[in-house]
Amino acid sequence: MVDTSFPAADGAADPDVASGVRMRVWPVGSLLRAIAVSLEARFNPVAVQGEVSGFSRAPSGHCYFSLKDEQGQIRCAMFRRTASLLDFSPRDGQLVELRGRLGVYDARGELQLVVESMRQAGQGSLFEEFLKLKARLESEGLFDPARKRSLPLMPRSIGVVTSLGAAALHDVVTALQRRVPHIPVVIYPASVQGTQAAAELREALLKAYSRDEVDVILLVRGGGAMEDLWAFNDERLARAIVGSTVPLISGVGHETDFTIADFCADVRAPTPTAAAELCAEPVSVWLDLLASLALRLQNGVEQQSQSQNQRLDAVTARFSRPSHFITRQRSRLATHGLQLQHAGQTVLARLGRDLQDLETQFKATLPDNFKSRKWQLDNAGQRLESVNPALVLARGYALLTDVEGKAIISKKQTHMGQPVRATLEDGEVDLTVVAQRLI
Provide, for the chain, the percentages of residues in helix, strand and coil under a 3-state DSSP scheme, each rounded to the nearest 5.
50, 20, 30
**In this predicted structure, what is the pLDDT of residue 123?**
57
**In this predicted structure, what is the pLDDT of residue 126?**
75
Q: Which of 162, 264, 275 is nearest to 208 (CA)?
A: 162
The whole domain housing 42 covers 26-123
**In this predicted structure, what is the pLDDT of residue 354?**
86
pLDDT at 317 > cutoff 80 = no
Cα 346 to its chain centre, rounded Å, is: 65
**In this predicted structure, what is the pLDDT of residue 318?**
66
- Do 118 and 161 fall within a single domain? no
How many domains is the chain built from?
3
Q: Is residue 129 part of a domain?
A: no
Dihedral (C-alpha) 141, 145, 147, 149: value to the nearest 10 degrees? 150
The residue from 284, 301, 325 where one domain ends is 284
Q: Which of 163, 97, 93, 166 is nearest to 134 (CA)?
A: 93
- Do 254 and 210 fall within a single domain? yes
Q: Which residue has the higher pLDDT, 314 or 205?
A: 205
Report the alpha-carbon angle 133-136-142, nearest 5.
100
Dihedral (C-alpha) 191, 194, 200, 201: value to the nearest 10 degrees? 70
Distance CA 200, CA 240 (A): 12
pLDDT at 9 > cutoff 80 = no
- Do 196 and 99 fall within a single domain? no
Mean pLDDT of the chain: 83
- Do 170 and 256 fall within a single domain? yes
Angle between helices 197-211 and 235-242 (to 10 degrees): 20
Instruction: Express each pLDDT in 391-434 by its tens digit.
Output: 777 777 788 888 888 888 888 888 888 898 888 878 888 888 88
Percent with pLDDT over 90 in the chain: 27
**In this predicted structure, what is the pLDDT of residue 239?**
94
Q: Is residue 296 part of a domain?
A: no
| Bridge partners (DSSP) listed for residue 64 | 56, 77
pLDDT at 122 > cutoff 70 = no
- 3 state DSSP class of 12: coil
Instruction: Express each pLDDT in 48-107 by its tens digit.
Output: 989 999 999 999 999 999 999 888 999 999 999 999 988 888 888 888 889 988 888 877
Listed ranges 32-41, 110-119, 292-301; the one with the highest mean pLDDT: 110-119
CB atoms within 10 A of CB 411: 12
